[in-house]
Amino acid sequence: GEDVEQSLFLSVREGDSSVINCTYTDSSSTYLYWYKQEPGAGLQLLTYIFSNMDMKQDQRLTVLLNKKDKHLSLRIADTQTGDSAIYFCAETMEYGNKLVFGAGTILRVKS
Amino acid sequence: DVKVTQSSRYLVKRTGEKVFLECVQDMDHENMFWYRQDPGLGLRLIYFSYDVKMKEKGDIPEGYSVSREKKERFSLILESASTNQTSMYLCASSLETARYGYTFGSGTRLTVV
């Protein structure tokens, strides 16, 4: 069945780049998402990428998709303390009505 | 701005109580979802609904039920609250196909004592 895996924890220094990785198993995944959850809050959609794209850039965020390896990554440039949060990877199919989420990666930014 | 509103941010209930968690969305979304979130376990789907009066079990429905009498409102019911239901509960909604992702509420932190 569908599965999405992420590493549990990442620690970086303020100003460095962060790279959060995600792998998925379903080759028919068409849409892939990154969500951010700040402490005590709900999830906020950060960015998404369609499977016909390899890369998407949005200000400090860069999403890379390697369809062959079923690997998705989120790069945050110039990481700030406000980027400290849990980051969830998720995927769905073309006409899917549910997202499958990874367990989340805790990003800790040290000043 | 589109919104999913959960009625309570924090709730404390006693073991055995019947608990209602309410979720309302103003986006005319067809799909609504209830998740619980526990440290190290990620998001686990409890129930979801594709339409009014329609419901489907998720991965962990035991001990919960849901109600969707109106399109904009999706309620999660804990029939007899237990301490192992202490958790963060997240409501989300989406269009009929989830391609544009979910919109989440702010969450309800439920403590059962």
With beta carbons less than 8 A apart as the criterion, state whether A18 and A79 touch. Answer: yes
Q: Which two tokens stand for residue A111?
A: 């000043």
pLDDT value for A1: 57
Q: Which two tokens stand for residue B59?
A: 């991965």
pLDDT value for B85: 98
Residue type, A106: I
Q: With an 8 Å Cβ cutoff, are B102 and A95 in contact?
A: no
pLDDT value for B98: 77
Facing A43 at nearest CB: one of B45, B94, B104: B104
DSSP state letter for B35: E
Facing B98 at nearest CB: one of A44, A96, A102: A96
Cα-to-chain-centroid distance, residue B79: 14
With beta carbons less than 8 A apart as the criterion, state whether A32 and A25 touch. Answer: no
Query: Chain A residues with CB inside 8 Å of B92's CB?
Result: 43
The residue that leads in pLDDT, B110 or A94, is B110
Residue B1 pLDDT level (bands cut at 50, 70, 90): low
Mutate to test the interface with B, among A43, A52, A87, A101 (most CBs of B within 10 A): A43
Dihedral Cα A71, A84, A87, A58, nearest 10 deg: -70
Q: With an 8 Å Cβ cutoff, are A96 and B97 in contact?
A: yes
pLDDT value for A30: 84
Each residue of B14-73: pLDDT tens digit?
A: 999 999 999 999 999 999 999 999 988 889 999 999 999 899 999 999 999 999 999 999
pLDDT value for A10: 97
pLDDT value for A9: 95
Residues B55 and B75: their CA atoms lie apart, in Å, by 11
How many CB atoms within 10 Å of residue A68? 7
Phi, psi of A74 (to 5 degrees): -125, 120
pLDDT value for B2: 63
Q: pLDDT means per 10 residues in chain A (111 residues)?
A: 86 97 87 93 93 93 94 97 96 81 95 90
Give the angle subtended at the CA of A41 by the CAs of A57 and A48, to the nearest 5°.
20
Q: State the count of interchain CB pairs (< 8 A) between A and B.
A: 62
